[in-house]
Structure 1
């Protein structure tokens, strides 16, 4: 049996999405920028896809730009906004548990002379609203805080954060990495009151290499690449038509019955959590109450067992999990997220991330628990020798 529990890294593409991508490759092979009928028809289809996705986010069509995914979206908005507004200030704010695409961008900006405040988090992965408020300065121009953490699933109170920022200074741009929250949490960009928001197609059963970036109307962002007027110049380059059609179909499938989609995944996570607690000893749940974190992410430390060893042991049984973010898991060193949360080395070194989707079944999870219990007990015996 194969049990894929690494859905926070990427998801299996749904059959109807594959059909949409295949159709686009076979029939929509023209360039959307071409003036002939073929190009105009494809441009219309892209406009329809943009409209569908913008409705799911509750934003205007002209505020949504297609990108290659979350990493590019984060780079465009952070680098682009900072460059366009560098005369206004040199202070930026983010958190210590952001995705590598955000943290690396801020580190690069620091080398260019910008001052960055990295907010701490508590032992469950949540920022202090008081620290955020105290960190806002007269020359602060941008704040970037992720909605859902990709390793432990902690959900930041974005609406409260936005109010704190805007009450202090309405001119501060508030960007949110929403890659792990889109589709999995009921929200509206209007209610969240953010100025920028990044999402990715392959986290919601869409194709890889496609994403969207929301930029609220009225904010100036300098493109980080040049070469054309595509996407109003924000992201030049011929549009990825197959990817756009695939992402639109993925969004359509989820948002046609989002509440049931959320309910199903949440029930699978809860079932797995209860079975894990009942069958495996000496474990620690990272991120606090599983019901208070993202519906699809459960981070667990198995005391006395190296996470990489357990990962590959489970792989032999056809079970696929993660020891952290897929974008940094091949790098040596401990998880920056778990370190920021103050976990002891023994728990950081034994942490496994399980992440679920609606493709999973209880039968798969039963099999997974059986093999986890077996492998953990075996590895603990080996380590004690």
Structure 2
């Protein structure tokens, strides 16, 4: 008799490792919610049988929450989630303080420096609204994320409210609650104490009634229940002022008809969590085992990985790490392209984001700016853990191929390892010109934050560096070029201050030639490097003489407005109107400019080329200088920002139709090469789609080489739609008239 064949299990397309942000709803929770909506749909406040059954479901969930948290005679009231619990607790405590006459700057409101933003923002908001005018202070933490007990002892006597966490959402660091309680109560027995327990449920043992914790908020969606439901523990003797008033639900503590389906789902999760023989929730020992397996997989890909939080200070379900030479976004984009969902836990900003939690812990900037959070839930299965480890290990070939990590393996050269690379850090631009055929490279204007990336590319591709050049020299600034020359063994003895080889007027790279032109003015020592193919000027590296959308400043110690004017006019004589101008700074995310564009975007620049009198030029530069000196951020020049956009946003449903309507439409993947390798775009598009890979770092190269031409319609795609929209704006500036953007990016295709 033939045995039935066993089909191999296919690894899921998505590996979810961001459980500290939210979790999927467990089937038992979804079933409980559905049953409640369809069969136990009564209003718990109704006195008929249907309402009584609903009330029983509500109270059953409440009793489970009470038992699991050891709430004793404390109140358990259902909320919409932790944020509401935090708000209502803060308001209650502050109102009580105001009634006691404890207000003004002498009264302190303390919170841990690594708290979730919901806590300090709530303190600031309600302190203002209630006109308490108390002083809000952050409690420092040490390198292990532990609260400074000496600080608490010193400041608690004047404190009206102290807010701490059971476990941190970003690092997994837990606080020693018993030790913390002794410190607080020895200093001030009557101070109100709020403990954020969102990340504790299912990961830490809690016996709240045996403590003097006054308020403890919890959230359902962090533990496999739906979003929009949570509960709050309030100590029996703690003051509580109802945040929402109306029909008197929740014993008058929180009015409004309860979210019974959400509460039923949460109750199902809590019931399973309470079971000693649960088949869903893993033991603490198993969770630590999972963590070690995941960590081993990460170290297989990134041998230099550094943990930002470690035992014995953490819960087992969070891994927070950084990798030297990587920013958070680099790893995020790589993992997401491979279908692995992680997070950075970083604050968003226009600059490179950093983790305020790691900053508060005093860790180095590179660790804060490169922090990655991998988190899983207590219901992770062995199969899910193995799938995650397999997917992570699969990235080793990707990072090696693209020289994200340098190995001894011979690299595979591909299109992105040839031509011009524009590397960016915040507003700074560095350039690599690579001749793959002869394994040579030339580096222009390296910045310190990109040194490791440049070294990886050069060493990983086994390139010989022809020269490391700088377009301008500020006496007061340290150069990254010196470090690169030392690390890459580039001989500087026979070169001038800019790194240009002595006695050489022209450098050759493949079919291109580079010459230099003295262009002082922004500073006393400056050159522009002109890139030609035969007699055609392809581009010029202009430092800070010309910026995309503006002109360099001249108010520095060695700046000179007259010299800058002369340099701009001289440069205009040596290049063509459409030659790409590549600057050292890009404040408006325009990537590059041309003489033609510069005249359109800067009235002052147009006047300079038209022969602006020196006196008028000086006056207008003085006005620019005044604006620059009053700016909150340092700029090397003033840039005027103008808004341009894609012609149109396309949705996923429109793809097939527009490809049929415009058969010459070219789909351009602007993700970086490692993302393209980890998650190819073609598999998510109709078979007829023509795809061209042009990473943002190669966008200028594609313009120089005419790989992209204005005559052809383009559909730009990235992971989320943000980078592709940026590329749309750049191309629209350069005269591309039919440029579309995929709404939501690849995330909507997967």
Q: What range is the shorter-chain TM-score in?
A: over 0.9
Taking a change above 3 Å as real, the CA distance of residues 84 and 50 of structure 1, as seen in their structure-2 partners, is same
Are residue 262 (structure 1) and residue 281 (structure 2) matched?
A: no
The structure 2 residue matched to 1:91, chosen from 73, 98, 108, is 108
Mapping of residues 13-28 of structure 1, within 5 Å: 13-28=25-40
Q: CA deviation at 1:31?
A: 1.5
Match of 2:189 in 1: 170
User: Is the partner of 1:227 in helix, strand or coil?
Assistant: coil
CA distance in 2, matches of 1:379, 1:308: 17
CA distance in 2, matches of 1:75, 1:31: 26
CA contact (8 A) 1:204 1:251 kept: no
Q: Normalized against structure 2, the TM-score is what? A: 0.49
Taking a change above 3 Å as real, the CA distance of residues 38 and 330 of structure 1, as seen in their structure-2 partners, is farther
Give the unaligned 5+ runs of structure 1. none
Taking a change above 3 Å as real, the CA distance of residues 329 and 55 of structure 1, as seen in their structure-2 partners, is farther
Taking a change above 3 Å as real, the CA distance of residues 338 and 62 of structure 1, as seen in their structure-2 partners, is closer
The structure 2 residue matched to 1:158, chosen from 177, 181, 184, is 177
Give the unaligned 5+ runs of structure 2. 1-11, 406-416, 418-452, 458-750
Q: CA deviation at 1:7?
A: 0.7
CA distance in 1, matches of 2:151, 2:79: 33
Match of 1:31 in 2: 43
Q: CA deviation at 1:372?
A: 4.3
CA contact (8 A) 2:217 2:233 kept: yes
Match of 1:324 in 2: 345
CA contact (8 A) 1:119 1:127 kept: yes
User: Is the partner of 1:94 in helix, strand or coil?
Assistant: strand
CA distance in 1, matches of 2:139, 2:403: 37
Post-superposition CA distance 1:156-199 (Å, at most 9, x none): 11111112222222211111000001111123113443121111
Q: CA deviation at 1:85?
A: 2.5
Q: CA deviation at 1:311?
A: 0.9
CA contact (8 A) 1:178 1:198 kept: yes
CA contact (8 A) 2:301 2:395 kept: no
CA distance in 2, matches of 1:100, 1:75: 12
Q: CA deviation at 1:110?
A: 4.7
CA contact (8 A) 2:90 2:126 kept: no
The structure 2 residue matched to 1:120, chosen from 140, 156, 167, is 140
CA distance in 1, matches of 2:81, 2:348: 19
Are residue 100 (structure 1) and residue 117 (structure 2) matched?
A: yes
CA distance in 2, matches of 1:43, 1:379: 61
The structure 2 residue matched to 1:336, chosen from 348, 356, 372, is 356
User: Is the partner of 2:261 in helix, strand or coil?
Assistant: helix
CA distance in 2, matches of 1:239, 1:168: 39
The structure 1 residue matched to 2:336, chosen from 302, 310, 315, is 315
User: Is the partner of 2:138 in helix, strand or coil?
Assistant: strand
CA distance in 2, matches of 1:317, 1:329: 23
CA distance in 2, matches of 1:7, 1:362: 13
Match of 1:302 in 2: 323
Match of 2:239 in 1: 220
Are residue 59 (structure 1) and residue 71 (structure 2) matched?
A: yes
Post-superposition CA distance 1:333-363 (Å, at most 9, x none): 4221011111222111211100012335332
Q: CA deviation at 1:135?
A: 1.3
User: Is the partner of 1:354 in helix, strand or coil?
Assistant: strand
Q: CA deviation at 1:260?
A: 4.0
Match of 2:209 in 1: 190
CA distance in 1, matches of 2:368, 2:147: 19
CA contact (8 A) 1:314 1:371 kept: no
Match of 2:313 in 1: 292
Match of 1:82 in 2: 94
CA distance in 1, matches of 2:395, 2:193: 41
CA distance in 2, matches of 1:61, 1:245: 22
Post-superposition CA distance 1:182-229 (Å, at most 9, x none): 111123113443121111111111111111100010211212332231
Q: CA deviation at 1:293?
A: 0.7
Structure (1/2) with the larger helix percentage: 1
Match of 2:156 in 1: 136
User: Is the partner of 1:137 in helix, strand or coil?
Assistant: helix
Quick one: higher RCO (CA 8 Å, sep 6+), 1 or 2?
1
CA contact (8 A) 1:305 1:379 kept: no
Q: Normalized against structure 1, the TM-score is what? A: 0.92
Q: CA deviation at 1:374?
A: 4.0
After TM superposition, which residue ranges in structure 1, 4 or more long, deviate above 6 angstroms? none
Structure of greater Rg: 2
CA contact (8 A) 1:50 1:61 kept: no
Taking a change above 3 Å as real, the CA distance of residues 72 and 146 of structure 1, as seen in their structure-2 partners, is same
Are residue 204 (structure 1) and residue 223 (structure 2) matched?
A: yes
Are residue 368 (structure 1) and residue 391 (structure 2) matched?
A: yes
Post-superposition CA distance 1:289-320 (Å, at most 9, x none): 3x531110010101112212321221111100
CA contact (8 A) 2:61 2:270 kept: no
Match of 2:84 in 1: 72
CA distance in 2, matches of 1:295, 1:3: 19
Q: CA deviation at 1:244?
A: 0.5
Post-superposition CA distance 1:107-148 (Å, at most 9, x none): 22454412112111111211111111111124x221110110
CA contact (8 A) 1:51 1:61 kept: no
CA distance in 2, matches of 1:72, 1:143: 18
| Count of aligned positions | 381
Mapping of residues 232-247 of structure 1, within 5 Å: 232-247=251-266
User: Is the partner of 1:141 in helix, strand or coil?
Assistant: strand
Taking a change above 3 Å as real, the CA distance of residues 315 and 379 of structure 1, as seen in their structure-2 partners, is farther
Q: CA deviation at 1:33?
A: 1.3
**RMSD over equivalenced CA pairs, Å:** 2.2
CA distance in 2, matches of 1:380, 1:317: 15
CA distance in 2, matches of 1:372, 1:85: 55
